[in-house]
Amino acid sequence: MGIHAYNLAIELAKLGQEVSILTSKNTPRSFSKKEFKFEHLKIIRLSHSVFPNSREGFLKSAIEYINNNPYYHVIHAHNFLDYSKVKTPALKIQKVHINPTYGYQLEAFNNLLEAFYFKKIKTIKMRFSIKKSFENSNLVIYNSKLSKKISESIYGKNFESVVIYNGVNYKEFQSGSKKKYRKEGFLFVGGNKKRKGADILVALAKLFPNQLFKVCGCTRSGFLSKLSRSRIPDNIRILGFLSRNRIKKEYKRALALIHPARYESFGNVVLESLACGTPVLVSSSNFCGASEILNSKVGATFNPNNLDEIKEKIYDYLKDPDKYDPKKCIKLAKRYSWKKTAVETVKIIDQYLNT
């Protein structure tokens, strides 16, 4: 289960909404059972086929469950659900966290066959699936204006839609905030994904040999396999896959989060960093949705395709490390809580149900 669905479901339940989460029985639990001990919240783990793939098997099982339990007023899908097969009168909402077919075109793959499959075959199949979902939804919710713009450029504007930004669990990232950490280096939370700018990070590490660049979200071998078959610069430290508690500490230790994404529909890492009081150096709003909510007091934005521009932003920050205000970082993060996301979601749902 994604962090988006987890946090939104909890906040909806806290608002008194009856929430059932449909998730796969075939995958490991992302969160412990005690994290879901909330009134009004129920977890339903579905068995399903893994053919032709696990995703399609789960979605088929989810549709069968919904049709057999027609008492839900709202279906809020975080995966692209073929609503044409849903036979209940519920309000059908498609939440869009990423435009996957657009992302495939920007990704690095291990070989030409894998690249051909994702960039051609899977792209065609996914576009058909996504368009069917949109056509049979009552409402599409995007998590940024960027996501909406890219989606409409691919699928058209014939769908009712709204933008509701993602949130951050501010209290989670502020716990233990009295402890002071020695600041060192820049943090990149994007694994080995070219779409998120991992190869740009390698180039920056070479330009700033005296600065440490930490990488979260992949193993060392995984980082090498997709990005650099030569030696990783000595000033890149691969931290691997981290627990939520550990990643919080790394945000607080960093001089800044650096996120040179070529495409990021929103980018929760940006809000997480700000919630820890750590400024952000991020791709501009043409590339990263979270940049739509930033201001000059909490960080800087740049064109990820312009290495000189990124280098200049890093130089400016290193020359004046007090130019960004940690308190303003935290203040901005507090404005975008998951509770706010839930309240805005309920508001738009009420509008539809009452018309």
The total number of residues shown for the chain amounts to 355
Enumerate the H helices of the chain as residue ranges: 3-14, 54-68, 100-104, 112-116, 123-135, 145-155, 170-174, 198-207, 220-227, 244-253, 268-275, 307-319, 326-335, 338-353
Tens digits of per-residue pLDDT, 157-205?
889 999 999 999 988 898 766 677 888 999 999 888 889 999 999 999 9
In whole angstroms, give the CA distance from residue 187 to residue 236: 10
Tens digits of per-residue pLDDT, 286-321?
999 999 999 999 999 999 999 999 999 999 999 999
Residue 212, SS3 per DSSP:
coil
In whole angstroms, give the CA distance from residue 220 to residue 200: 17
* 102/110: higher pLDDT: 102
pLDDT value of position 3: 79
337: β partners: 168
Domains and CATH numbers, the chain: 3-167+337-353 (3.40.50.2000), 170-335 (3.40.50.2000)
Mean pLDDT for 319-346 is 96
Q: What is the phi/psi pair of residue 78, to 5°?
A: -100, -5
Tokens 């650099």 correspond to 228
pLDDT value of position 345: 97
Widest CA span of the chain, in angstroms? 62
Q: What is the dihedral of CA 333, 199, 217, 53, to 10 degrees?
A: 110
Average pLDDT score over the chain: 90
* 177/262: higher pLDDT: 262
pLDDT value of position 339: 96
In whole angstroms, give the CA distance from residue 86 to residue 63: 6
* CA neighbor of 8 nearest in space, from 19, 276, 293, 39: 19
CB 230 within 8 A of CB 213: no
pLDDT value of position 4: 82
For 323, the token pair is 């130019």
Q: What is the phi/psi pair of residue 44, to 5°?
A: -120, 110
Mean pLDDT for 239-260 is 94
What does each C-alpha distance from 254 to 182, 226, 312 come to in angstroms?
8, 25, 19
For 256, the token pair is 């800044």
The DSSP string of 62-117 is HHHHHHH-TT-SEEEESS---GGG--S-SEEEEEES--HHHHHTT---SSHHHHHI
Helices 338-353 + 3-14 axis angle, to 10: 70
pLDDT value of position 116: 82
For 165, the token pair is 């930004």
Mean pLDDT for 206-223 is 90
Low-confidence winner among 140-154, 171-185, 196-210, 211-225 (lowest mean pLDDT) = 171-185
pLDDT of 229 above 60: no
Tens digits of per-residue pLDDT, 1-40?
577 888 999 999 999 999 999 999 877 655 555 556 678 8
- The confidence band for 231, taking pLDDT boundaries of 50, 70 and 90, is confident
Tokens 């098997």 correspond to 57
pTM across the whole model:
0.92
